[in-house]
Amino acid sequence: MSLLKRLPRGRTLGVAGAVGALVAGGLILAPMMNASAAAGCRVTYTTNQWPGGFTGNVTVTNLGDPISAWTLGWTFGDAGQKVVQGWSATFTQSGSAVTAKSLDYNGNLATNASTSIGFNGSWTGANPTPAAFTLNGVACTGSTGTGSPTPSTQSPSPSKSPSTSPSPSKSPSTSPSNPPPQGTTPLAINGQLHVCGVNLCNQYNRAIQLRGMSTHGIQWFASCLNGSSLDVLANDWKADLLRIAMYVQEQGYETNPSGFTAQVNNYVDLAEARGMYAIIDFHTLTPGDPNYNLDRAKTFFASVAQRNANKKNVIYEIANEPNGVSWQGIKSYAEQVIPVIRAADPDAVVIVGTRGWSSLGVSDGSSEQEIVSNPVNATNIMYTFHFYAASHKDNYRTVVARAARTLPLFVTEFGTVSATGGGALDLSSTGTWLDLLDQNKISYANWTYSDANESSAAFKPGTCAAGSYANTNSLSESGTYLRNRIRTADNFPTS
């Protein structure tokens, strides 16, 4: 699709500050509280590596008396290993020696309590196990377990078909004893999602459809994304999901990786608190070959997957709209990025972009058959389809209707207008599209939950600055239509 989305002008870049960032310079020892109380500890260290880089995951268990703050220390076994970016702690490094200091929320460790931290690193040569872990200066002698590295360049086990299911160890229970939902939000009802056959399925192994909205670029429209606006999306619109569009170029992630990562994580938390699912969208657009951003993707997804691994509301979209690239190139990219996510978050659904601006190849003169014949070698994945109703009509719908019988599809972006993001609305075509998606239980997110000066935006210009999200008079024609469509009952199956 020629999705020539217009970039807003005169917007300032505003992103959240980095968290868990690496402190440059010499070794900085953090103040140690109750150091003598840490009579012992146990550490488990696992890695996921790729050429020139790796992710380290550390779990420490306090075997001594309770402590109210901690500093974990270790020495890398190879002088070429460096911490580049960390999470759930503040990291410092001098030579091969590293310290990780607790943050406000995870400093308390009761006896036998554990906490986990992680980091992305660079390395040259070998990648051996770190030595001499200490907790508040006391050696961790309560046995140090080391997990085997899982190279991200290693292909996952072969998939017999693109219709995939979750790993057996995490399969949802379908027995009568499966407990009822502990709440009424989409997240509370459906829990951890997975792919079953060609459908997105909930914790009861029943096919569901999620309906929601996509942000515009978070570098431009952060004012449209806050507790108040998401309260409206969840409670008035009754949306099931929020897609977080993090551009990689276009003044996005590449300009401040740690800041944008923190901003994405914040939106994940806001969605979770309101019972919505969150799609983390690595919004590649120009250049269209996702392999251009392969290293950035590995770094970003290693970080967000580690940080959000215990959440049930996260879905990973690894490449927004591949264009000017073959399906084989997209497949190669996916098969290198997915293992990085799986190393930290083995159960989450991953969505793979498709050729021709995520048109299943139709906009490039191809079709879904290239994916059916050569699917991504991974499990629990779906494939992206995007449409703009005024530009993409019956010939695209014919392909989607046919593909939905074979491929798990997710419409992570669509517009009520033309592929430029502007122009007149085509609500007739939009309605036909959404009827097709409803019939096939294909989930979708509309572009965009913003007040951009374009007809695809849900709000009129100036709405976000005024904070008038709940005023239906602030909705555009597109926003009014989508709100009415999304807020109809979901009727998620639970048995």
Which residues are designated catalytic?
Answer: 321, 413
The three-point CA angle 66-28-105 to 5° equals: 40
Contacts of 169 (CB under 8 A, 6+ apart): none
Q: Which residue's entry shows tokens 């219709």? A: 163
- 99 Cα distance to chain centroid: 28
481/141 Cα distance (integer angstroms) = 62
Residue 66 in tokens: 């309770």
- Torsional class of 29: left (φ above 0), alpha (ψ -120 to 50), beta (otherwise): beta
Closest CA to 269 of 258, 278, 260: 278
Contacts of 312 (CB under 8 A, 6+ apart): 187, 191, 192, 193
91/198 Cα distance (integer angstroms) = 43
User: Is the dihedral angle over the CA atoms 186, 189, 193, 198 positive or is it negative?
Assistant: negative
Contacts of 80 (CB under 8 A, 6+ apart): 122, 123, 124, 125
Contacts of 179 (CB under 8 A, 6+ apart): none
130/123 Cα distance (integer angstroms) = 13
Contacts of 174 (CB under 8 A, 6+ apart): 204, 205
Length of the chain counted residue by residue: 495
Cβ atoms within 10 Å, residue 17: 10
The maximal CA–CA distance of the chain, rounded, in angstroms, is: 71
270/459 Cα distance (integer angstroms) = 20
Closest CA to 200 of 483, 413, 410: 410
Residue 119 in tokens: 């980091």
